[in-house]
Amino acid sequence: MKNIIATIALTIIFMTDGFAQIIKKKDFLYSNKFSLMAGLIQPIGLSGGNIEVNYFTKKMAFDFSHGFSLNPPVVGDFKTQGVALHLPYSTGFGVGYRFTQFLDVRFEPKLHSWEVYNKGEAQTEATKIKDFKTITLGIGVYYRYFPFKNSDNEFLQGITTSTSLRYWQNVGTTLSNDEFSYTNKISGKKETLKAPNIGIANTPIIFNIAIGYTFGGKN
């Protein structure tokens, strides 16, 4: 009887230890860590910049990002009417869930400040056609890659890239009826423009790659 009890006790201990090891293995790497990231699309394609601060728990993702001095290429009526767009800033935060160690999905409210100028003119207060703000609500899918995660060097483990695909839908603007009218300098006619989208080719879709650093190593 004592042998049976001892065997059962040892089995429970081994099972408990094994279960604990399984749980431990399921803990995501790079948890409870801060990351500092810089977007590449902003300086390469928009003549501006972007800084992003992230914090990841075992299951959640939190971020604050701030883009500045952005000059998106214009399409459609903006191009036809010969105007240029400038964003002094595009800012906001994100809250998300980590589905895997490196993949997370975030809910993202953002505020975007716009200025409209005639194309080719100096962008000053005197030449500004209109300024306004838009608010977007959207979702972003992020995949982080750590090229040196298997290194024994903790410093190298922190090197980080992040590839993201986001959909930011306009939900409000400071414009009346989400549009504005002005007298076009080239044609001399009164023209109307609708509030633009923040993404690619005046759509809500945004793609970006960021590089940066995650502090504290992978464990």
Domains of the chain: 30-214 (2.40.160.20)
Strand partners, 101: none
Position 27 scores a pLDDT of 81
- DSSP code, position 202: G
pLDDT tens, position by position, 33-64: 999 999 999 999 999 999 999 999 999 999 99
Q: What is the pLDDT of residue 186?
A: 85
Is 27 in a helix, a strand, or coil? coil
E-strand ranges in 124-176 read 130-145, 159-173
Confidence of residue 26 (pLDDT cuts 50, 70, 90): low
DSSP count for the chain of H helices, then E strands: 4, 10
Q: Is the pLDDT of residue 18 over 50?
A: no
Pairing state between β 33-39 and 49-56: antiparallel
Q: Is the pLDDT of residue 12 over 50?
A: no
3-state DSSP assignment of residue 131: strand
Tokens encoding 219? 């464990």
Each residue of 87-116: pLDDT tens digit? 999 999 999 999 999 999 999 999 999 999
Task: Name the average pLDDT for the chain.
Answer: 91
CB 145 within 8 A of CB 185: no
pLDDT digits (tens, 9 = 90+) for 153-210: 999 999 999 999 999 999 999 999 999 999 999 889 999 999 999 999 999 999 999 9
If one counts every other C-beta atom within 10 angstroms of the C-beta of residue 86, the result is 19
**69: pLDDT strictly greater than 50:** yes
3-state DSSP helix/strand/coil % of the chain, to nearest 5: 20, 50, 30
